[in-house]
Chain A
């Protein structure tokens, strides 16, 4: 059974950093392109970033370029999202997903507030 379990969320002050993790199991993680998708409270879905199987290619939405870094550790079956210079508009539930979006994690909440 495919499982994606996010962690690392919480309440953070504006300007600070946070690193989200996503532990993958039940499939050959290193063979799959992975993604992060977020959803602000009461808002729609927003693709954030994707990363190739080996990690050499990354893709970001414009509003997070330079502040977010997606990475992966294939030995640990784990996906990461480093979020720097947090802004209030980054407040959202962050979902880890296989890039085809056929499997999603349960989501982790990030709240940016002073």
Chain B
């Protein structure tokens, strides 16, 4: 199975900060990487697909990038509504595997 190692597991940041979350894949997954946002009591929401593509309706302050086997989700200027848990997911093969999640909190 492909392991997705996500870091950090939690972080605190201030409004307006630039925030970056990273996932590393244990095998080549190409660009088969998505990012999800989950708020308490809610279903996950896909933010990024294909490593770099912004999902419909997602604010442009969110972006995804890839460097080798490292994938990043960046929020260019943090807003209060961005406080949530973020997960990465590889979808190149079954079983699909998620990263462990990053809890983003307000400093």
Contacts and interface: CB of A to CB of B under 8 A. Distances in A.
B43 A44 contact: no
Contacts of B101: 44-45
B46 A95 contact: no
B55 A59 contact: no
Given A100-B49, A101-B36, A102-B55, A45 B98 contact: yes
Nearest to B101: A44
Contact of A102 (B46, B96, B99): B46
Contact of B43 (A47, A59, A106): A106
Interface string B93-104: 011111111000
Contacts of A73: none
Interface residues of B, number: 21
B63 interface: no
Contacts of B89: 45, 47, 101
Interface in B59-107: 87, 89, 91, 94-101
Given A45-B98, A47-B98, A95 B43 contact: yes
B52 interface: no
Contacts of B30: none
A7 to B, nearest CB: 15
Top 8 closest pairs, chain A to chain B, by CB: A47-B96, A104-B43, A59-B94, A44-B101, A45-B98, A61-B95, A102-B46, A45-B87
